[in-house]
C-alpha cells in the first residue's frame, strides 16, 4: 500500500509543477506542452484509480479476514497473559507477539489512511499550481481532475467500509469488548 501512496505523492508533485518549462519555449508551444503534461497527469491518476479498484476487488475479503483474525489473536493473547499462569519467558513471548499484532494492525491502517489523505490532497496540489494562467482548455481539464479528486481513494475491508486509522481503533475496541466478555464469563464460572 505504501507503493500506491508514493505514486500519489509523485502525482501531486507533478500537479504543482506541470506548467514549469524552459524559458526559451514560445507561448504557443508552452500551451501545448502544458496541455500534454496535464493529459499525462490525468492518465496517471486514472491508472492509480484503476489499480486501487483492482486491489479492492482482489484483497478486500482477505483484509476482512485479516482484521477479524487480528482482533481474535490480540484477545486470546491478552487472555493468556491475564488468566493463565505462565512462566516469565512465556509471558514475555505473549507480550511481544501481542505488540507485533498491534503494530501490524496499525501499520496497515496507517498506510490505507495515507492513501485516502494523499488522494484528497491532489486537488490542493492542482489548486496551488498556476492554473489561472492557463488556457481555457487546460483549465477545463484541471477542473475535471479537481472534481474527481473530491472522492477519496480507499482500500476497503470486505464489502463494509474503507480501511483507515479509525478502522484500526475499531478493531482494537472489538478486541477489548471480546476480552471483557471472556473475562466476565471466566469470573462467573464456578471453580
Question: Running DSSP on this structure, what letter comes out for residue 59?
Answer: H
Mapped onto helix, strand or coil, the DSSP state of residue 162 is strand
pLDDT the model gives residue 111: 92
Report the domain count for the chain.
1
pLDDT the model gives residue 154: 92
CA–CA separation, 2 and 112 (whole Å) = 8
Cell of 135: 488556457
List, for residues 75-115, the tens digit of each pLDDT value. Answer: 888 888 888 787 888 889 988 998 999 999 899 999 999 99
pLDDT the model gives residue 80: 85
Asked whether 43 and 14 are in contact (CB, 8 A), the reply is no
pTM beyond cutoff 0.75: yes
Within the chain, which residues score under 50 in pLDDT?
A: none
Would you give the end-to-end CA distance of the chain in angstroms?
49
CA–CA separation, 106 and 112 (whole Å) = 10
Asked whether 119 and 164 are in contact (CB, 8 A), the reply is no
CB neighbours of residue 30 within 10 Å? 16
CA–CA separation, 178 and 76 (whole Å) = 9
What residue numbers bound the domain in which 43 lies? Answer: 2-188
pLDDT the model gives residue 40: 92
pLDDT the model gives residue 87: 87
CA–CA separation, 4 and 140 (whole Å) = 26
Amino acid at each position: 500500500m505504501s507503493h500506491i501512496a508514493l505514486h500519489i505523492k509523485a502525482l501531486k508533485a507533478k500537479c504543482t509543477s506541470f506548467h514549469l518549462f524552459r524559458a526559451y519555449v514560445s507561448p504557443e508551444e508552452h500551451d501545448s506542452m502544458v496541455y500534454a503534461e496535464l493529459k499525462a497527469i490525468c492518465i496517471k491518476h486514472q491508472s492509480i484509480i484503476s489499480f486501487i479498484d483492482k486491489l479492492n476487488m482482489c484483497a478486500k475479503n482477505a483484509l476482512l479476514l485479516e482484521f477479524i483474525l487480528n482482533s481474535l489473536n490480540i484477545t486470546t493473547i491478552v487472555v493468556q497473559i491475564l488468566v493463565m499462569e505462565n512462566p516469565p519467558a512465556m509471558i514475555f513471548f505473549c507480550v511481544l507477539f501481542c505488540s507485533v499484532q498491534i503494530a501490524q494492525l496499525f501499520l496497515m491502517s496507517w498506510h490505507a489512511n495515507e492513501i485516502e489523505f494523499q488522494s484528497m490532497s491532489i486537488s490542493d496540489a492542482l489548486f496551488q499550481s498556476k492554473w489561472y494562467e492557463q488556457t481555457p482548455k487546460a483549465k477545463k481539464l484541471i477542473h475535471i481532475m479537481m472534481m474527481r479528486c473530491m472522492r477519496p481513494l480507499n482500500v476497503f475491508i470486505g464489502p463494509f467500509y474503507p480501511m483507515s486509522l479509525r478502522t484500526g481503533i475499531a478493531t482494537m475496541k472489538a478486541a477489548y469488548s471480546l476480552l471483557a466478555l471472556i473475562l466476565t464469563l471466566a469470573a462467573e464460572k464456578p471453580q
